[in-house]
Copies of this chain bind each other. A is one copy, B any other.
Amino acid sequence: MSKNAKIRDEARAITAKPPAVILCEPQLGENIGTAARAMANFGLVDLRIVNPRDGWPSEKARAAASRADHVIDHVQVFDSVEAAIADLQFVYATTARSREVPKPVRGPDEAAHKAVELGEKGGATGYLFGRERWGLNNEEVALADEIVTLPVDPDFASLNIAQAVLVCAYEWRKTAGSGALPFILSKDEHPPAKKDDVLRLFEHLESSLDNVNFFRPPERRPHMVRTLRNIFQKAELSAQEVRTLRGVIASLEKRETRPRKERSSSDDET
């Protein structure tokens, strides 16, 4: 639980109204359930299905939804796309192929921006997804405002409905939450070392190496010192890490002999 306790409030605080997801004549209950699960991961809850082939409710859908019961329990069933989108103010139609419907075509990221913008003002938006086998027909696409398509490899475009829902939902939440992640690397727990401490680490290391004649020939010393310092600068050492490294150098200097699980052939550390 302690690890989960570090979840950041920013990752929870979404104010925009999430979009509805409309599945047009889905054939497999499993796909409905997987779509519900994908939605729930990103905070979407309003799932609507039009003429599901195998009817509703669906035990296969509930099983595939895993813990997303709150989505499955509130699925609305409609007998037409028109009815399913009646209360929405902006609808995206997802298609994999170009259509003879002259609507703007957006990627999921661009679509998310408009959906979030409207959602921030309480507007009702939706993403419309087509049938497993052949997506949406042109009349259904025409009911929407704009088209969304994913930037797939055109030579291998075979996303299923739930995968398309996942990516659209991901982009929506990323935009709505300004990219807030559930957790980050906390600088409070790992404050960077002060430059003075880093410099003393360098001087410690360099004097140790001087003591063992590491810098040969002597004219190479400046270059190698810069190389070594750069390595540790890149590591962006925390204060704790500097202390750890100084302990490492001190131990090597003293050539302490400690019991080791697998002794190497000699203790030659010059």
Contacts and interface: CB of A to CB of B under 8 A. Distances in A.
A96 B109 CA distance: 22
Contacts of A4: 97-98, 154
A11 B154 contact: yes
Interface stretch (A76-84, A167-175, A203-211, A255-263): A167-175
A267 interface: no
A68 interface: yes
Interface stretch (A37-45, A53-61, A114-122, A220-228): A37-45
Contacts of A97: 3-4, 182-183
Contacts of A252: none
State which size class the interface on A falls in: 35 or more
Interface stretch (A21-29, A85-93, A157-165, A194-202): A157-165
A74 interface: no
A238 B42 CA distance: 38
B182 A154 contact: yes
Contact of A153 (B3, B12, B150): B12
Given A7-B154, A156-B67, A174-B107, A149 B179 contact: no
Nearest to A8: B154
Contacts of A66: 158
Contacts of A179: 107, 109, 151
Contacts of A152: 11, 41-42, 173, 182
A206 to B, nearest CB: 26
Interface of A: 3-4, 6-8, 11-12, 14, 37-38, 40-43, 66-68, 96-100, 102-105, 107, 109, 147, 149-159, 163, 166-167, 170, 173-174, 177, 179-185, 189-190, 238
9 contacts: A3-B98, A4-B97, A12-B154, A40-B153, A102-B238, A103-B185, A109-B174, A149-B183, A166-B166
